[in-house]
A and B are shown apart, each in its own frame.
Chain A
Amino acid sequence: MGLIAVRPVHAAAQDLERVLGDPFSPDAPVSFRGLVRHDEREEPPWEAFETLRAWGVHAQLVPQAFGGCLKSFEELLALVRVVSRRDLVLTTGLGSTMLAAIPVWAWGDDDQRRQVAQMLLGAGAFGSFAVSERDAGSDFLATKARAEYAEGGYRLTGEKWLIGNASRCSFVVAMVQTRPALSLLFIRPDQLPAGALRRLPKVRTLGLRGHDMGGLAFNDCPLPTSALLGRAGRGMEMAFTTLQYTRTMIGGMALGAADTALRLALGWGRDRRLYGKPIRDIPAVRSLLLGCFLDILIAECVTTITARALTLAPRRASLWAAVTKYLVPNLSERVVRDASVVLSARSYLREGVGDGIFQKIARDIVITSIFEGTQLVQLSMIASQLAQLVRIGRRDGEQVDVDRLCDLGTPAPAWDPSNTGLRIADPGGDELVERWFGQPDSSEEVLAAGPRATTALRSLRDQARALRRNLATIPTPADLSLARRHCVLHAAACCLQIWRTSRSVLAPEAAGGEWLALSLERLVGGDSAPSGADLEPSVCDWMYGQLDRGELFSIMPFELAQ
């Protein structure tokens, strides 16, 4: 350890990584062998949760103003990746808690904040964000659970279903019908009379088998007026805002899972010999592996910028969190699929390579594109906001400083929960796309990354021009392909701007821009496999170097536990 200078935003994650140990080693505090064993039994990985609690992970969910260590979402993202590369069950349990805590930090009263801070910092409690119901998923307005105002308090009746941490939560933030509209209620199960709350049985799932997924049934449940969280009737609005934070962190979950998938495939590609040579020397295998690496780098650029934007350009987050939530799980699931092609039969075994963790990742990662708004929900939100931007142009008069936003050498500012600056669906603009694919021609700026980068950039500019034309003629695009195309352009712009602004703090191999050229080509072509002899070898060497040195697959050096 210690050969790489640790960036301040990585310090906590680096420490946690060290404490959790090398998951490939069965003797590590949190090992793949142990995690697979719990998965087989469909039970939570208790020891791993305990290791995280003992390290102090819950303090990372509590803002500094309320006694915790949560500073920026850029820092939290690094922690999410470190935990998720081991087991998404862990991040889902902690993430559901965070989801319930964010509205308390942002809109709760002092007493509600104090209670949650105490529960998290003291016992390492779990929380539940209870929004969905059997007949109301993405459609919030279909919510049936209702709290009637009576006798100086509320009486809540209704069932919340597919709720994370349902059987073990110490606090619940529930979205329910009230007068005049949907509200959020803060509920302490330990303070309810017997019979008012029934915890429903665990729901059996394809992946995340150790996750505590269930439901909460309220039956004429009495709640004090102080249970109201934020303003009455603004529950949906608070939920929309809260989800922008957690959707961004889901990018980190997908990235963590993809990292382990690629690590397993690369190790297999190196060790497995067929036809007298390691299979990674077979051009088709090599191309798949390199594609996985590029997908991770692209996804990392997108997620990192949105995480920074949550405190640097919060108004843009309504658009960018949706782009991240759509794009990053997609890219990461493709990494897992392509890694499974390389692993071939080994990807199908519940033992052997990585103690059978791959098949678990393949089942677990599917959730990242489903929960907290499906892919169709994200695309609809993006389409709606793009139409709005085209209709009225920039309204807020603010111009996001993209150089500052993408300067990874300077940490993003700490989160101020009492002044989030987030909007629901009024992003004001997408300066990254405008900067690279608007006017004037920006292709000269990537000359240093070589002619292939320039050519790819020109193709993307053509795509952007066509998209603008299409958006201008269709005011409300029901055609979600326009939203998809915007996501691709946004991803390319994130890669370009990070390379442009942060070259000096990236891994030395990233500075030359070979990865940038290949990533842009991949984005231009949809899923075109990397090919050609001029750029690929150096990016492949970088990828194998990160594997051999024990680093996260990343544009930034991050040393893993050995």
Chain B
Amino acid sequence: MNTWTLAELIAQLQQAFAGFLGMDPAEVNPNSSIKELGMDSLTAVELAIDIEERLGVSLFLTDFTGRETIAGLAASFLEERVA
């Protein structure tokens, strides 16, 4: 299990989203909703699996609204891990 800080995890997720969306990581605003970034629920599920395989970070889609942000997802992942 990795021991990323919140900032490190956000940076990792930015990179993963960027790869998936064909963008530069710097263009991926961690506070934009993932819908604004161009994700729909189907691609979000695919990306979650991709992130899990590559980073070992398990993100679960429980209530896809599109309003989730990378920063929010990273924070809840770290919270879950502590809990």
**Residues of A bordering B, CB below 8 Å:** 141, 180-182, 233, 236-237, 240, 380-381, 384-385, 387-388, 391-393, 395, 423-426, 475-476
Contact of A141 with B50 in the complex, beta carbons under 8 Å = no
B22–A236 CB distance below 8 A: no
In the assembled complex, which residues on chain B have CB atoms less than 8 Å from the CB atom of A236? 45, 61
Let me know if A476 and B40 touch, CB within 8 A: yes
- Known A-B contacts A426-B46, A476-B40; the reply to A391 vs B21 at CB < 8 A is yes
Known: A237-B49, A384-B40. 10 other contacts (CB 8 A): A141-B61, A180-B60, A181-B60, A181-B62, A384-B42, A391-B22, A392-B19, A393-B22, A423-B46, A424-B46
Tell me whether B45 and A240 are in contact (CB under 8 A). Answer: yes
7 A-B residue pairings within 8 Å (CB atoms): A180-B80, A384-B42, A387-B38, A388-B43, A391-B38, A392-B19, A425-B43
Does B63 have its Cβ within 8 Å of any Cβ on chain A?
A: yes
Contact of A424 among B20, B45, B60, B62 (CB under 8 A): B45
What residues of A have a CB within 8 angstroms of the CB of B45 in the complex? 236-237, 240, 424-425
Given A237-B49, A393-B22; A424-B38 close (CB under 8 Å): no
Bound: A387/B42 CA distance, A: 12
Measured in the bound complex, the distance between the Cα atoms of B20 and A233 in whole Å is: 22
Bound complex: CA of A392 vs CA of B21, how far in Å? 6
Residues of A contacting B61 in the complex (Cβ-Cβ under 8 angstroms): 141, 181, 236
Main secondary structure on B side of the interface with A: helix
Contacts of B5 in A (CB 8 A): none
Q: Which A residues lie within 8 Å of B31 (CB)?
A: none
Q: Count B-side interface residues using an 8 Å CB cutoff.
A: 21
B22, A424: Cβ atoms closer than 8 Å: no
Contact B38 A381 (CB under 8 A): no
Task: Give chain B interface residues in 31-67, CB to chain A under 8 Å.
Answer: 38, 40-43, 45-46, 48-50, 58, 60-64
Asked if A141 meets B43 with Cβ closer than 8 Å, knowing A180-B80, A391-B38, A392-B21, the reply is no
Bound state CA distance, A180 and B60, in angstroms?
7
Q: How far is the CA of A425 from the CA of B20 in the complex (A)?
A: 11
How far is A181 from B40 in the complex, measured between Cα atoms in Å? 18
Complex Cα distance, B80 from A237, in Å, reads 20
Are B46 and A475 in contact, CB atoms less than 8 angstroms apart?
Answer: no
Shortest Cβ distance from residue A135 to the other chain B in the assembled complex, whole angstroms = 15
Min distance, Cβ A464 to any Cβ of chain B, angstroms? 21
CA–CA, A385 to B39, complex, Å? 11
Residues of A within 8 A of B64 (CB): 141
State which of A181, A240, A426 has its C-beta within 8 Å of the C-beta of B50. A426
A381→B41 CA distance, assembly (Å): 10
B66 nearest CB across to chain A (Å): 11
The contact string, 1 if C-beta is below 8 Å from chain A, for chain B 9-33, is 0000000000111100000000000
Q: Which residues of A contact B21 (CB under 8 A)?
A: 391-392
The 6 closest A-B pairs by CB, nearest first: A392-B22, A181-B60, A425-B46, A425-B42, A424-B46, A391-B22
Residues of A within 8 A of B41 (CB): 141
Chain B residues with CB below 8 A from A182, complex form = 62
Considering only CB atoms, which chain B residue lies closest to A181 in the complex?
A: B60
Contacts of A391 in B (CB 8 A): 21-22, 38
